[in-house]
Amino acid sequence: MPGHDDIPFVFAGAGLDRLAPRRDDPDWLRETLAAARTRFVPVLGEENTIVAGSDAPAPLLLDCAAARVLLTQAHCMVLLGSYAGETCFALGLPPDASLPAGKIALTNLRPQLAVLESGVLALLGYARAMVHWHRHNRFCGKCGAPTRSHRAGHELRCTRAECGNVIYPCVNPAIIVLVTHGGHCLLGRQSGWLERRYSTIAGFVEPGEDPEASVRREVREETNIRVTSMQYDASQPWPYPASLMLGFRATADNTDIHCNDGELADARWFSREDIVRGIRDGGLVLPTYRSISYRLVQTWFEESGKYSLDHYPQTEAFSDR
Ligand SMILES: [Zn+2]
């Protein structure tokens, strides 16, 4: 079960049936695209769309009639699956596409992480990731000819028959790790973040590298800390643009921090008391509470048998990551 107890992680796909067998069912696709209940999730450029202006923002979901008007502007359409009883497609549109009138806002979803429920975030993040993939693969990487969408948007094939290149959506694995030493944990701040924002150490897995080696390398490169033991905890998708974060807990061998590779502006050891104090006085902001990063910190808190983060709900989400 992804997430902490009954709280699913953001973007984790709760409640979405991807209907993968239907991708190869042209009759079903034709009927569904014309059905009154079908919904379309517009993505303008790289941005999702929400209906703003009310207390509770909601995703903009278009019906067939509204989507048909936009079809001439669309560069891709992708079957996402069934969510809340409705079959949903992503609709990739140019950044300046004209949407139906109303209070509609474009968003990169980061400011919505603490506001939208996990299933909605999963649907929107999935739509955004697939549209991003289509936008960046309009031409064959092998021969340069245009590509064409197949299998309800889940496969791109080179249009030059002699080439035969087929492109599939790819996911980039990344590690995210809470390193501890005694009663302290290691948190870092990237240079682009506000000064009070700290999170667990993270980085991309490189080709030919297993996730455990990636944990050792990233922690060492970014902070000079050597990891002695580690354990996998959980995973969380992160659709910016197509990451899958593999969460670990690890133990440190040394404590002398140096931010070696310039990726982090700062890294520090925090005790549980430091974190509680920081949250209380506003000097520290952790990632949104439905993220894997927060869960790693929260689990470490609960192991103490003395502290819990539950008393300090995080309402402020990372908006700059
Ligand atoms: Zn080609």
DSSP per-residue letters across 141-193: TTT-PBEEEEGGGTEEEES-TTT--EE----EEEEEEEEEETTEEEEEEETTS
Q: Taking the mean position of all CA atoms in its chain, how far away is CA 145?
A: 31
CA of 262 to the centre of ligand 1 (A): 38
φ, ψ dihedrals at 16, nearest 5°? -105, 120
CA 32, CA 171: separation in Å to the nearest integer? 28
Q: For position 240, what pLDDT does the model report?
A: 83
CA of 163 to the centre of ligand 1 (A): 5
What is the per-residue DSSP string for 62-96? B-HHHHHHHGGG-SEEEEEEEETTEEEEEEEE-TT
Widest CA span in the chain: 66
Long-range contacts of 299-303 (CB under 8 A, 24+ apart): 299/4, 299/233, 299/249, 300/178, 300/180, 300/185, 300/249, 300/272, 301/272, 301/275
Q: For position 239, what pLDDT does the model report?
A: 85
What is the per-residue DSSP string for 115-139? TS-HHHHHHHHHHHHHHHHHHTTSB
Q: For position 233, what pLDDT does the model report?
A: 95
Q: For position 195, what pLDDT does the model report?
A: 87
CA 276, CA 125: separation in Å to the nearest integer? 31
CA of 151 to the centre of ligand 1 (A): 18
CA of 75 to the centre of ligand 1 (A): 19
Q: For position 102, what pLDDT does the model report?
A: 74
Q: For position 103, what pLDDT does the model report?
A: 77
CA of 155 to the centre of ligand 1 (A): 14
CA of 144 to the centre of ligand 1 (A): 6
CA of 131 to the centre of ligand 1 (A): 20
CA of 42 to the centre of ligand 1 (A): 28
CA of 139 to the centre of ligand 1 (A): 8
CA 53, CA 37: separation in Å to the nearest integer? 25
CA of 133 to the centre of ligand 1 (A): 17
CA of 140 to the centre of ligand 1 (A): 5
> Per-residue confidence of the chain (321 residues) as pLDDT tens digits?
344 455 678 888 668 899 999 999 999 999 999 999 999 999 999 999 988 776 778 889 999 999 999 999 999 999 999 998 999 999 999 999 988 777 788 888 877 777 888 888 889 999 999 999 999 999 999 999 999 999 999 999 999 999 999 999 999 999 999 999 999 999 999 988 888 999 999 999 999 999 999 999 999 999 999 999 999 999 999 888 889 999 999 999 999 999 988 889 999 999 999 999 998 888 999 988 888 999 999 999 989 888 777 655 554 444 333
- CB burial of 30-57 (b: ≥16 within 10 Å; e: otherwise) equals eebbeeeebbbbbbbebbbbbeeeeeeb
- 231: number of Cβ within 10 Å: 10
Q: Which residue in the block uniquely carries the two structure tokens 């009927």? A: 31
CA 194, CA 187: separation in Å to the nearest integer? 14
CA of 166 to the centre of ligand 1 (A): 8
| Closest alpha carbon to 122 in 84, 96, 93, 154 | 84
CA of 148 to the centre of ligand 1 (A): 11
Would you mind telling me the total number of residues written for the chain in this entry?
321
CA of 130 to the centre of ligand 1 (A): 20
Q: For position 317, what pLDDT does the model report?
A: 43
CA of 159 to the centre of ligand 1 (A): 7
| Closest alpha carbon to 171 in 229, 132, 124 | 132
CA of 146 to the centre of ligand 1 (A): 8
CA of 168 to the centre of ligand 1 (A): 14
Contacts with 8 (C-beta within 8 Å, 6 or more apart), sequence order: 1, 2, 14, 118, 119, 290
Whether the full predicted model's pTM is greater than 0.75, yes or no, is yes
CA of 138 to the centre of ligand 1 (A): 11
| Closest alpha carbon to 38 in 72, 77, 75, 82 | 82
CA atoms within 13 A on the CB side of 36: 0
CA of 162 to the centre of ligand 1 (A): 8
CA of 137 to the centre of ligand 1 (A): 11
CA of 164 to the centre of ligand 1 (A): 6
CA of 101 to the centre of ligand 1 (A): 40
Tell me the one-letter amino acid at 120: V
